[in-house]
Amino acid sequence: MKSYNKAGRSSNTPILLSRARNFSEPPKQLNGESRVKNPNLPPIEINSSNMTSSQILEEKPLVNLKQVLMIEEKLSEILEKLRQGPIDKSICDDYWALTEDSSIPYLEKLFTEKRTQTTLRHACIIEMVTVAFANICFSDKMPSNLSQNFCNLFYYVHQNFLTIMKLMLYRCSNDSLSNSWTHILRTKVQEKQATIGVKGGVSGFMKHHTALASKILECITSIGPVPLRPALMSVLKIVYCPTYIRARKMIESILLGISTIMEIPEDLPMLPTSPYLPNTDKEYTLILDLDETLVHYVDNGPESRLNIRPGCSDFLIELKKYYELSIFTAALQDYADWAIDSIDTEKSISYRLYRQHTMQTGPVFIKDLSRLGRDLSKVIIVDNVAENFRLQPGNGLFIKSWFDDVEDTCLAETMVLLREIALSKAQDVRVALRNYRDQVLRQIIKGVSNPLLNFVTSK
């Protein structure tokens, strides 16, 4: 990253914001002493880069709206140029200069609800990670598929930033509403922001876009040029960072070449402490993969969608009667939570495990069942990638990958097998699965057209 003078400082226009409980709560009236008496008078600027979060909270929360608008324009410029074709990574330099002393990361302190704070903070970190990915990958020779992924990625990031701008308008003090920069900001939001129609209002809108951005970041990591993948994987780990400032410092260390392999601090572990799951009164545990097992995400920018495998709802509802159900996915948590919430309308799934719970070996994310805290003789994992359960292959039930076949019956057929294993009171599910594999092989040799539906757990 190049060194710039702080962009936007030539005409400082800080606006006083008020603190509120959550996204939906209307802005509180500020007392006369706290209001900006005259937005046209030179205000006191807070240099947030030299202050702790608690110090920011103690001061009057000021936001430089001109700087905010310049950041939005930069994100919009990157998006528009991506739509025209591959671009050079130097376009990212202005973004880093503009955001170096931005007060946007401290906006979370305007809200008392923890979930709201987390949503805002995570959206800001995802934005930084996105631009860092661009720093690593952008070139005039970038493949078209990678360029399209970045185009979709910046669309979601830009929409989230517009939402943050909208939140600023909600929190402006009354005296600030007539400020010319406030008017420009309002116009930008009205012109560019997509309609908020998702469940959960503003909060749900941001979570939705953050989830989709997370999914695309995963995709770019896997399809990006091989020499760049270590750096991409290093930056991707930063999405779990608990603070914005720390995340930025970690990104800078990678982009400046201080470290090409991310060194994860002790309090930001790659592998959470086991056991992953608490005690249960269910005899059997069923671990389910997510992508291409239960769902398939189609990335198409604003028209993106989540395809749900036929029979998924019935599968979850029925097997909940016999198993403790848990999702174990290599996906990032934002996307995974969004996808799981979409398919689990009856709350059948008890627990969720994500990428941070896997053991990464090259491109493979191994799911070590020994870390669950369950008796492995009672655990089954269903996954479309056998490599994922290679540490406990006897517990694995491989299922065909699914993308969009509306006639697919794999979940319905697998449900029959899993229900039979539970009803048979199998002492060791690994023995039952081995019997299943042996019987399937024998039936295939005999010409049985659908060996699964003819399966019995005992000879």
pLDDT at 176: 67
CA dihedral 237, 238, 241, 246 (to 10 degrees): 150
pLDDT at 25: 42
3-class SS at 35? coil
> What value does the mean pLDDT take over residues 137-146?
86
CB atoms within 10 A of CB 186: 16
* Of 101, 289, 334, 368, catalytic: 289
* Of 88, 101, 281, 291, catalytic: 291
3-class SS at 214? helix
CB within 8 A of 210, min separation 6: which ones?
Answer: 119, 122, 123, 126, 156, 160, 334
Summarize pLDDT for 349-371 with one digit per residue, the tens.
999 999 999 998 877 899 999 99
Among 414, 354, 362, 357, CA closest to 387: 362
User: What is the distance between the alpha carbons of residues 259 and 28, in angstroms, rounded to a whole number?
Assistant: 45
Q: Which has the higher per-residue pLDDT, 158 or 20?
A: 158
User: Could you give the maximum distance between any two Cα atoms of the chain, in Å?
Assistant: 88
Domain definitions of the chain by residue range: 14-255, 284-454
pLDDT at 336: 94
According to CATH, what is the number of the domain 284-454? 3.40.50.1000
User: What is the distance between the alpha carbons of residues 91 and 93, in angstroms, rounded to a whole number?
Assistant: 6
Q: Respond yes or no: is residue 140 known to be catalytic.
A: no
Confidence of residue 195 (pLDDT cuts 50, 70, 90): confident
CB atoms within 10 A of CB 417: 20
Q: Respond yes or no: is residue 405 known to be catalytic.
A: no
Residue 266 has pLDDT above 90, yes or no: no
Residue 392 has pLDDT above 70, yes or no: yes
Give the best-scoring range by mean pLDDT among 53-62, 138-147, 315-324, 329-338: 315-324
Give the best-scoring range by mean pLDDT among 24-28, 258-262, 395-399: 395-399
Q: What is the pTM of this model?
A: 0.74
CB atoms within 10 A of CB 184: 14
Which has the minimum average pLDDT: 57-66, 282-291, 379-388?
57-66
